[in-house]
Amino acid sequence: MEQPDIDQSSHEDLIHQLHERPQIPLTEWLRVPAHVHYKAFRMADPPTQRPASREEFRRLVESFQMAPNHTVLRETFGYAVKVAGNGDRLIVVWQAHTEYYSYQLWHLPGAPGSQVTFGPLTFPNYQFPITPLGTEVCRLDIVLRAEVIPSRDELHQMLPGPVTYGSRMFDDETMVVTSFTPDEYRRERYLVNVGSPRIDVSHIKNIVDAVVRIETYYHLLLMQKPLFSAAIDSVYKFEQVHLKQREIITGHISHADALALQRWLNSLTQDLLKANRLAGKLHFELSAAVPYDKIVHATLASMVERPFAPYRPLSDYVLSGVTGVADGYQQLLKRIETLSSGFEGMIAIIRTRVDLMLESQNLALLMSVDKTTKSQAILQHTVEGLSVIVIAYYLSGLAGYIFKGLHEMGWMHNPNVASAVFVPIAIGLAFLITTLSRKYLHKKLQTEKPHA
């Protein structure tokens, strides 16, 4: 009786979770200038490692000795804030996604006029104490300032790499500059000018979220390229082998014997298993490429990118890296499906040929059985005829003895004549006995069949 109330409560909880935005209170702690380190890790076993990453974040909060009243922890999102004695703030943001989880570590200087620079976070006594799970996807070093973007020479000193990219994002005051080249700490550096220190703090979070989203899904897409390249070679070899097999089988199947058909069938079955195994692995690794590609393009579109002379737009670099990648992955999956279908088609043809051979053998066997049955029927009729003669012979012999006995007793004048006259009668009795015996056996067999 209480089940409807429970279902209603669960439904209300679900609606609440759908509309809940636990990140919103986080923006109250943000300000400019800020120094952000971002780390993302791809999980090998998401159902197991996602809860483990949540426990990892909880241990991280404990190691930083962050106050419970400054901590928010949900199923797939959490953050905690620590304020040092000098007014500096350290914010740790954890988020678990379908395939990866990430950390954003924010250092917000407390002293007025403080500057932030690229490199390690300078929060007092800061040290990242956790060895994260999974494979590292990317690392970012993001500096947010309210100052003007430095000159090209100064940027060249700050950002590693030969080419600098820059764009205006979201509005005319927000400028993002990067070189997409890892520094000595294996972090890609982003310099963000937000225009004014009194900017809306939610705008600061949106900028950082957009940058890390593009970088994460960009790297997730390109992380599979080595697997993709190796799979391309494997599929090419499979296709060449399949073409040769198909030519041989097509040319010889009409006169192939059972041994050749069995050999072809075994070989094609093994190749089909290998192709299916490769397809299963690639589907697991590459199936998310299309949505990841869409996320990158959608995020770039939401940032409303505009040129920032004299630098090349950020989208030039990002799109040059991901354009065609997801389509290439999907094309490879289609090639493997076509290859598997080809193997299955050839196996079906050989099986059909085997079935035809079996049917031909069965037909020959049935014809042989039919001939044997006819021979047995003829033999049976012959035996029955002989049986009539044998029975008549024995009846005539027995009657002859009787007639001779009657002659000796004086009751019969000529036993030979009586024996001759009895021969047709004996034949008739033998035929009658044989007929009755056959009918009796048929009737008995018919009554025994249902019990069998």
What mean pLDDT do residues 75-98 have? 90
Q: Which segment of 30-34, 41-45, 310-314, 415-419 scores lowest on mean pLDDT? A: 415-419
Calculate the alpha carbon distances from 361 to 198, 261, 263, 369, 391 in Å: 91, 15, 20, 12, 43
What token pair was written down for 97?
Answer: 């996604």
Q: Which segment of 1-10, 71-80, 309-318, 376-385 scores lowest on mean pLDDT? A: 1-10
Q: Where are the domains of the chain?
A: 19-222, 225-364, 368-440
Please give the single-letter amino acid code of residue 365. Answer: L
User: Of 404, 437, 435, 413, which is closest to residue 396 (Cα–Cα)?
Assistant: 404
Q: What gap in Å lies between CA 320 and CA 315, rounded to an integer?
A: 8
| Spatial contact of 224 and 281, defined as CB atoms under 8 Å apart | no
Give residue 449's pLDDT band: very low, low, confident or very high (50, 70, 90): low
Q: For residue range 423-446, list pLDDT tens digits in order.
A: 788 778 777 777 777 777 778 777
- Residue 86 backbone phi and psi in degrees, to 5: -85, 5
User: Judging by beta carbons within 10 Å of its beta carbon (0-12, 13-18, 19+), is residue 32 exposed, middle or buried?
Assistant: buried
Q: What gap in Å lies between CA 29 and CA 89, rounded to an integer?
A: 8
Q: What gap in Å lies between CA 359 and CA 362, rounded to an integer?
A: 5
Which residues in 76-155 belong to E strands, given as ranges? 77-83, 89-96, 100-108, 135-145
DSSP reduced 3-state for 230: helix
pLDDT at 7: 54
Please give the single-letter amino acid code of residue 190. Answer: Y
Q: Which residue has the higher pLDDT, 320 or 369?
A: 320
pLDDT at 427: 78
| Spatial contact of 242 and 167, defined as CB atoms under 8 Å apart | no
Q: What gap in Å lies between CA 142 and CA 174, rounded to an integer?
A: 14
Bin 125: left if φ > 0, else alpha if -120 < ψ < 50, else beta.
Answer: left
Give residue 6's pLDDT band: very low, low, confident or very high (50, 70, 90): very low
Please give the single-letter amino acid code of residue 451. Answer: H
pLDDT at 18: 42
Q: Does pLDDT of 26 surpass 70?
A: yes
What mean pLDDT do residues 60-72 have? 88
Q: For residue range 180-225, list pLDDT tens digits in order.
A: 999 999 999 999 988 766 666 778 888 899 999 999 999 998 888 8
Of all residues in the chain, the percent with pLDDT exceeding 70 is 91
pLDDT at 17: 47
Q: What gap in Å lies between CA 297 and CA 294, rounded to an integer?
A: 5
pLDDT at 22: 54
pLDDT at 104: 93
What mean pLDDT do residues 70-89 have? 89
Q: Does pLDDT of 350 surpass 90?
A: no
Q: For residue range 247-271, list pLDDT tens digits in order.
A: 887 787 778 777 888 888 888 888 8
Q: What gap in Å lies between CA 347 and CA 368, rounded to an integer?
A: 31
DSSP reduced 3-state for 148: coil
Q: For residue range 118-163, list pLDDT tens digits in order.
A: 999 989 888 887 778 888 999 999 999 888 888 888 888 889 988 9
H/E segment holding residue 169: none
DSSP reduced 3-state for 243: helix
pLDDT at 16: 47
**Partners of 140 in beta bridges:** 38, 188
DSSP notation for 285-337? HHTTHHHHHHHHHHHHHHTT-EEBTTBBPHHHHHHHHHTTHHHHHHHHHHHHH
Q: Does pLDDT of 24 surpass 60?
A: no
What mean pLDDT do residues 95-120 have? 89
Q: Does pLDDT of 364 surpass 60?
A: yes
| Spatial contact of 93 and 79, defined as CB atoms under 8 Å apart | yes
Mean pLDDT of the chain: 82
Whether the upstream peptide bond of residue 310 has omega within 30° of 0, thus cis, is yes
Give residue 340's pLDDT band: very low, low, confident or very high (50, 70, 90): confident
Q: Does pLDDT of 236 surpass 80?
A: yes
What token pair was written down for 405?
Answer: 């006995």
